Amino acid sequence: MIRGIRGAITVENNQSEDILQATTSLLQQMIDKNGINAEQVAHIWFTVTKDLDTAFPAKVTRSFDGWQYVPVMCATEIPVPGSLEKCIRIMVTVDTAKAQEEINHVYLGGASVLRPDLGLTNSQDAR
């Protein structure tokens, strides 16, 4: 079955190093908490809010061993007034036997406010 795994994290500053470090941390936790490997992944979408423009977060995928062939894409989030600032979001599309309710979505740092209904956020693992 094809499933989506969501994740999000915030950064303090619009600096390349901060964006890439936060993205690495988030993607690693999404991989670990869902037990996925690159061969299961159809593609990954990365989005950033309009206030993050110093790095492509998808770039970090190349640093994961065996993940260099996974198709990735970056985009900008819709700038809705009052929405969470300095936020990186990831959607990993995977082939998995897990049921919807078994998927572990990961929301770190300030992004933990985005989906408190899932009960799967972890603000202590922020960076």
DSSP codes, the chain: -EEEEEEEEE-SS--HHHHHHHHHHHHHHHHHHHT--GGGEEEEEEEE-TT--S--GGGGGGGSTT-TTS-EEEEEPP--TTPPSSEEEEEEEEE-S--GGG---EE-GGGGGS-GGGS---GGG--
Look up 62 and say whether it is catalytic.
yes
89 catalytic? Reply is yes
Catalytic-residue membership of 74: yes
pLDDT more than 90, % of the chain: 88
Catalytic residue among 39, 62, 69, 102: 62
Sequence ranges of the domains in the chain? 2-122
The CATH code belonging to domain 2-122 is: 3.30.1330.40
Task: Please tell me whether the overall predicted TM-score, pTM, comes out greater than 0.85 for this model.
Answer: yes
The active-site residue, picked from 6, 39, 69, 87, is 6
Residue 110 pLDDT level (bands cut at 50, 70, 90): very high
